[in-house]
């Protein structure tokens, strides 16, 4: 038989306890039952005699005979009534009456306590007491034997093997059932706890009872839920930590690439300026025309100055200490101002700017940053549009979706999909030659991205049938 250790222990202990109690009860019956019976029988006989003596005072001898007979039957005792001469005048067993010719047994008793014969197996109770009736005074002699209890003790000895078999079978069977009944929920709880220890929380421990086992199962289930939730929180925290580490690595990689590109962007114009200046210093060939090359150096310096300003703006946005200056901004007026400032630049390329701007559209945001971002978007649309094309600027409000949209479209232009995916990266330019005459520094749209992320504004760029569309969605937050 295969049993769990706790079941085996409980079965063994319960069996020993039941067997010990059975042996104890048997020994108690064997050794103490005779003495207890003797004492009980003595008290019963003594009480009966006292009742007869007490009741006989109010009865005649003839009327008291039923009391004597009843006492004899109930107590299985021998009873005699003697006169002063010692003659038995009445006995229920032999129906002796006064005047009988049969000789009385020559027995005299001087004790009122039970007496014992020399044979220890035949204990007896003998007592002699005066009894008074209304018509006569006699002596009451009572004798009773305790032999039946001694015989019962001998029977117990002979019945011991059968009792032992019954006790062992019942005791072991009861101990087995009891141990199984008690340990079954414990084993079930132990299996559930082992699964929890192995981080398996699929099954719950269900012990339907109101005792400590039920409370234990409920506590384990609560611990399982709390542990599972804690592990989920740790997993989320771990994933977040991994994500933060990856972002930090990506940021560090981007920063290194950024500084490398900045160094390259600054190194090239500085090298050109150095060549111009050396040619002018040594009056080499065309560099003797100093006014012309001084003008070119001035243009290079202005380009470098613009690049430094854009780098500083971008660095300012990336700082954690940067705070937005929020205010109510009239978008209609802001877009009109931006378009008016860029009209001269558009006229140089014969580009027509068509605007569809709703009136009195306002949002709660940072005016300076939003103006810079919108200006960069429209400026790029003009810069990368062919001569004679159009730039559409639309400003509309969607009251149902609670946002304002700015849509800028420059016609007759297409951008490759692989370029659109990288166009918001720093220093990324569609024109790979990086000629300043055909494009800017590559930071314009990156700054737009940084501004919109800081202002929680969504944006997108895609190709349409008309050309390239830049869509800006500003959530309404007007006070």
Angle between helices 160-197 and 212-281 (to 10 degrees): 20
Report the CATH number that the domain containing residue 155 is assigned in CATH: 3.30.450
Residue 241 exposure: Cα atoms within 13 Å on the Cβ side: 6
Whether pLDDT at 2 is above 80: no
Asked if 264 and 370 sit in the same domain, the reply is: no
| pLDDT at position 382 | 92
Q: Say if CB 143 and CB 125 are below 8 A apart.
A: yes
pLDDT at 410 over 80: yes
**Predicted pLDDT of residue 150:** 65
The residues with which 205 forms a beta bridge, in sequence order, are none
End-to-end, the C-alpha distance of the chain in Å comes to: 82
Reduced DSSP (H G I as helix, E B as strand, rest coil) percent helix, strand, coil of the chain, to 5? 55, 15, 25
Domain holding 352, by residue range, is: 323-475
Residue 249, judged by CB atoms within 10 A of its CB (0-12, 13-18, 19+), counts as exposed
Of residues 371 and 188, more confidently modeled: 371
pLDDT at 307 over 90: no
Would you say 129 and 53 are in contact if contact means Cβ atoms under 8 Å apart? Answer: yes
Verify that 12 and 152 share a domain, yes or no: yes
- Choose one of 267, 290, 322: the last residue of a domain: 322
Residue 317 contacts by C-beta under 8 Å, 6 or more apart in sequence?
A: 369, 447, 450, 451, 454
Single out the residue in 271, 293, 322 at which a domain terminates. 322
Mean pLDDT of 349-370: 91
Is the pLDDT score of 114 beyond 50? no
- In the sheet that holds 137-145, the strands lie side by side as 88-90, 78-82, 137-145, 124-132
Task: Reply yes or no on whether the pLDDT at 198 is more than 60.
Answer: yes
Maximum mean pLDDT: which of 167-176, 412-421, 466-475: 466-475
d(CA 470, CA 356): 15
d(CA 28, CA 26): 5
The tens digit of pLDDT for each residue in 154-166 reads: 777 777 777 778 8
pLDDT higher than 70, residue 103: no
Whether residue 336 is found in the same domain as residue 429: yes
Summarised one tens digit per residue, pLDDT across range 20-44 is 877 888 777 777 777 787 888 888 8
Pairing label, strands 390-398, 352-357: parallel
Residue 3 pLDDT level (bands cut at 50, 70, 90): very low
Do 438 and 377 sit in the same domain of this protein? yes
Q: Which pLDDT does position 98 carry in this prediction?
A: 46
**pLDDT at residue 469 tops 90:** yes
Note whether residue 66 is domain-resident.
yes
Q: Enter the pTM of the model.
A: 0.47
Say if residue 118's pLDDT is above 70.
no
Between CA 466 and CA 471 the distance in angstroms is 14
Tokens of 437: 């005459």
Q: What are phi and psi of 360, to 5 degrees?
A: 55, 45
Closest alpha carbon to 441 in 338, 320, 313: 313
In a domain, 50, yes or no: yes
Backbone dihedral region for residue 337 (phi beyond 0: left; psi -120 to 50: alpha; all else: beta): alpha
Q: Do 98 and 134 fall into the same domain?
A: yes
Boundary residue ending a domain (322, 357, 384): 322
- The structure tokens listed for 299 are 């243009």
Those residues whose C-beta lies under 8 Å from the C-beta of residue 132, and which sit 6 or more positions away, are: 53, 56, 57
CA 139 to chain centre: 89
Residue 210 domain-assigned (yes or no): no
Check if the beta carbon of residue 394 is closer than 8 Å to that of residue 406: yes
286 and 149 share one domain: no
pLDDT at position 116: 41
**Percent of the chain residues topping a pLDDT of 90:** 21
Continuous segment of H or E residues that includes residue 144: strand 137-145
pLDDT attached to residue 335: 94
Number of structural domains (the chain) is 3
pLDDT tens-place string over residues 331-351:
999 999 999 999 988 999 999
For position 471, what pLDDT does the model report?
A: 95
Specify if 397 maps to a domain. Answer: yes
DSSP structure string for 309-320: HHHHHHHHHH-T
Q: How far apart, in whole angstroms, are the C-alpha atoms of residue 466 and residue 115?
A: 136
Q: What is the CATH number of the domain that holds 407?
A: 3.30.565.10
- Mark whether 401 and 277 lie in a shared domain: no
Q: How far apart are CA 15 and CA 171, in angstroms?
A: 6
pLDDT (0 to 100) of residue 94: 61
Report pLDDT for 147: 65
279-304 tens-digit pLDDT: 888 888 888 888 888 998 888 888 78
Select the highest-mean-pLDDT range: 58-67, 101-110, 208-217. Answer: 58-67
């Amino acid at each position: 038989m295969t049993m769990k250790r706790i079941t085996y222990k409980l079965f063994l202990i319960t069996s020993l306890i039941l067997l010990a109690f059975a042996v104890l009860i048997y020994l108690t019956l064997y050794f103490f039952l005779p003495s207890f019976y003797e004492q009980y029988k003595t008290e019963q006989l003594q009480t009966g005699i006292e009742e007869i003596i007490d009741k006989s005072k109010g009865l005649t001898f003839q009327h008291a005979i039923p009391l004597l007979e009843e006492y004899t039957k109930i107590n299985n005792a021998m009873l005699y009534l003697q006169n002063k001469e010692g003659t038995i005048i009445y006995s229920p067993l032999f129906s002796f009456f006064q005047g009988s010719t049969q000789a009385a047994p020559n027995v005299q008793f001087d004790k009122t306590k039970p007496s014992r014969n020399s044979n220890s197996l035949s204990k007896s109770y003998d007592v002699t007491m005066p009894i008074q009736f209304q018509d006569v005074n006699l002596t009451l002699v009572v004798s009773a034997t305790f032999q039946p209890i001694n015989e019962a003790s001998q029977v117990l000895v002979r019945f011991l093997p059968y009792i032992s078999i019954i006790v062992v079978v019942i005791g072991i069977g009861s101990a087995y059932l009891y141990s199984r009944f008690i340990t079954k929920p414990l084993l079930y709880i132990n299996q559930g706890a082992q699964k929890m220890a192995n981080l398996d929380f699929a099954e719950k421990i269900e012990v339907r009872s109101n005792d400590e086992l039920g409370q234990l199962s409920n506590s384990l289930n609560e611990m399982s839920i709390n542990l599972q939730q804690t592990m989920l929180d740790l997993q989320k925290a771990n994933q977040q930590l991994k994500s933060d580490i990856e972002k930090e690595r990506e940021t560090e990689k981007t920063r290194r690439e950024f500084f490398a590109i900045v160094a390259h962007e600054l190194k090239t114009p500085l090298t050109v300026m150095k060549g111009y200046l050396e040619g002018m210093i040594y009056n080499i060939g065309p560099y003797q025309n100093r006014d012309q090359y001084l003008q070119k150096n001035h243009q290079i310096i202005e380009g470098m100055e613009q690049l430094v300003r854009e780098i500083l703006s971008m660095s300012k946005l990336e700082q954690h200490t940067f705070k937005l200056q929020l205010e109510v901004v009239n978008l209609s007026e802001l877009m009109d101002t931006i378009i008016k400032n860029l009209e001269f630049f558009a006229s140089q390329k014969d580009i027509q700017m068509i605007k569809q701007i709703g009136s009195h559209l306002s949002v709660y945001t940072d005016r300076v940053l939003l103006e810079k971002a919108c200006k960069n978007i429209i400026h790029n649309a003009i810069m990368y549009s062919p001569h004679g094309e159009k730039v559409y600027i639309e400003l509309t409000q969607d009251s149902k979706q609670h946002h304002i949209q700015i849509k800028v479209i420059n016609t007759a232009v297409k951008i490759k999909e692989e370029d659109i995916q990288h166009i918001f990266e720093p220093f990324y330019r569609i024109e790979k030659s990086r000629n300043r005459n055909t494009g800017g520094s590559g930071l314009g749209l990156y700054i737009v991205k940084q501004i919109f992320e800081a202002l929680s504004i969504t944006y997108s760029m895609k190709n349409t049938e008309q050309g390239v569309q830049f869509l800006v969605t500003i959530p309404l937050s007007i006070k």
